[in-house]
Amino acid sequence: MADVRVDPVSVLDTLPNFTDADKDGLCWWWRTDGTGVEGLWEKLQHDTDIKNYNLSDGIYKYTHWLPHWAIVDPEC
């Protein structure tokens, strides 16, 4: 299978659904440090309430997501 490039999807545009998640219900979320300068991809439940989380007083914000298969998980 050829490599497929997937562009990150903004949480402002749409949120992932179960078809974007792996067998455990996880997909990739881009977490920033709150300033947007530094960040990292981490796996969270596809149905995490990101919009409400981003409105909270937490220092981290989630801005984008990718389907589970878009990044090879180093723990697999």
Q: Give the three-state DSSP class for 51.
A: helix
> Which pTM value belongs to this model?
0.84
Residue ranges of domains in the chain: 9-70
> What is the structure's pLDDT at 18?
95
pLDDT digits over 23-71, tens only? Answer: 999 999 999 987 767 899 999 999 999 888 888 888 889 999 999 999 9
Mean pLDDT of 12-27: 96
Q: Which two tokens stand for residue 32?
A: 């920033």
Range list of β-strands (E), the chain? 9-10, 26-32, 39-45, 61-66
Q: Is 28 exposed, middle or buried (0-12, 13-18, 19+ CB in 10 A)?
A: buried
